[in-house]
Copies of this chain bind each other. A is one copy, B any other.
Amino acid sequence: MSELRRDPLLRRWTIIAPERRAQLIGRRLARPLAEEEVPCPFCPGNEHLNPQEIYVARADGTSRSPHGWAVRITPDRQPLLRVEGAVERRGVGLFDLMSATGAHELVSDTPDHHAHWADFDLAQMERLLHSYLTRFNDLRNDRRFRQAVIMKNHGAPWSRYPHHHSHIVAMPFIPRRIDDEFIGAREYYHLKERCVFCDALREEEKRGDRVIVANDDFVALAPFASGFPFETWVLPRRHMADFGEVGARTIPALATIFCAIMAKLRSTLLDPHFSLALHSGPLNGGHHEEFHWHWELIPHLSGELGMEWATGVYFNPIAPEDAAACLRHGTPLV
């Protein structure tokens, strides 16, 4: 039975999940499964491989048949956090534990097994983002959860399945990486009484050399101290702490930016493996003045994480200005 354990030094939670042990051992000792050997749990017709659906989006005018969805969300078969039960906290001597309570939902981003995000048309990207938004706001109603994260890992070894999918995870605590952002943003606000993201956006737009693509509502940029080559953030121009405030009206503008980034990653980096995460304010509000929701994306290019793990210092051989120029113009990386 899985549980949450708190590092006594680092304010960091680890999900200890022994029921997933077989998965690690299989991955370590066996050859990777060939695609034809396992039925894809994200394909229409294989809906029975996942639990009962929570949400589906359909394309306009399509049938309401069980296989006729465009985006489909279910609980994860092997959830990292379990939705049942109260959040129980206890100590064992020096150490602190919490029940592994939370929500872990699995999103089939598309019914098409072979469609890359870069192949999505605007309508499909809108449906997907709208599905995220709907689930994000629904999870807010569960008072046990303090933070919801939407994340996507595309490509081995970060993900096992080639069919594009993503995860929505709601947690009974503020995850460390996001709390660090809240703390940094609050410290800046105390100093200046301004949002650090708004200030950075203004400065980046003035300079221009780290901006990748922008429209009236959103800006995609290569952050100043990018820890990874071609790291890309997408932020709303208007100050907003909470992704839930974005409103269906501006989803098309966000979808436009996402489609543009995917096209640029395809032309410059040849469809790299990538990870994507939403960082939003906490579900129960707060940080309204100082935090600013955004998506963070990193392509997986170098695989060199030794220094980062050892010290928390990142090493990046591509200056973000160069990355932005390359993406902005769609020039292949050579």
Q: Which residues of A contact B (CB under 8 A)?
A: 5-21, 23-25, 27-29, 80, 93-95, 149, 151, 153, 156-159, 169, 171, 175-181, 184-185, 188, 196, 199-200, 203, 207, 223-227, 229, 269, 275, 277, 296, 298, 301-307, 309-320, 322, 333-334
Q: A16-B225, A158-B304, A175-B311 are in contact. List 4 more A-B contacts (CB 8 A).
A: A6-B225, A21-B318, A24-B301, A158-B305
Q: Kindly state the separation between the CA atoms of A320 and B15 in the bound complex, as whole angstroms.
A: 12
Closest to A93 in B: B203
**A5-B225, A225-B5, A275-B306 known; A313 and B180 CB under 8 Å?**
no
Are A225 and B309 neighbours in the complex by a CB distance under 8 Å?
no
Beta-carbon contact of A225 and B175 below 8 Å: no
Whether B24 and A196, one on each chain, are in contact in the complex, defined by CB atoms closer than 8 angstroms, is: no
**Residues in B whose Cβ lies below 8 Å from that of A225:** 5-8, 12-14, 16, 95
Given A151-B307, A157-B304, A185:B9 Cβ within 8 A: yes
- Chain B residues with Cβ under 8 A from A24's Cβ? 229, 301-302, 317-318
Docked pose: A171 CA to B313 CA in angstroms? 10
Q: Which residue of B lies closest to A28 (CB)?
A: B301
Q: Which residues of B contact A269 (CB under 8 A)?
A: 28
* A316 x B199 contact (CB < 8 A): no
Given known A13-B313, A225-B12, contact A94–B305 (CB-CB < 8 A): no
A333 to B28, alpha carbons, bound, how many Å?
10
Q: How far is the CA of A9 from the CA of B188 in the complex (A)?
A: 8
Taking a contact as CB atoms under 8 Å apart, the answer to whether A184 and B14 are in contact is no
Which 3 residue pairs spanning A and B have beta carbons closest together? A177-B312, A157-B303, A176-B312
Partner of A178, one of B6, B93, B177, B311: B311
A265 CA / B316 CA spacing, docked (Å):
31
Whether A224 contacts B5 by the Cβ 8 Å rule is yes
A–B complex contacts, Cβ < 8 Å, 11 sampled = A9-B185, A12-B313, A14-B225, A21-B317, A21-B322, A28-B333, A149-B310, A153-B306, A159-B306, A178-B311, A277-B309
- Of B10, B305, B313, B334, the residue contacting A184 (CB under 8 A) is B10
- A3 CB, nearest partner CB in chain B, Å: 9
| Complex alpha-carbon distance, A224 and B6, angstroms | 8
Across the interface, which residues of B come within 8 angstroms of A199, CB to CB? 94
Query: With A and B bound together, what is the CA distance between A188 and B6 in angstroms?
Result: 14
Cα A8 to Cα B11 with chains together (Å): 21
Docked CA distance A188–B298 (Å): 35
Judging by beta carbons under 8 Å apart, are A18 and B318 in contact? yes
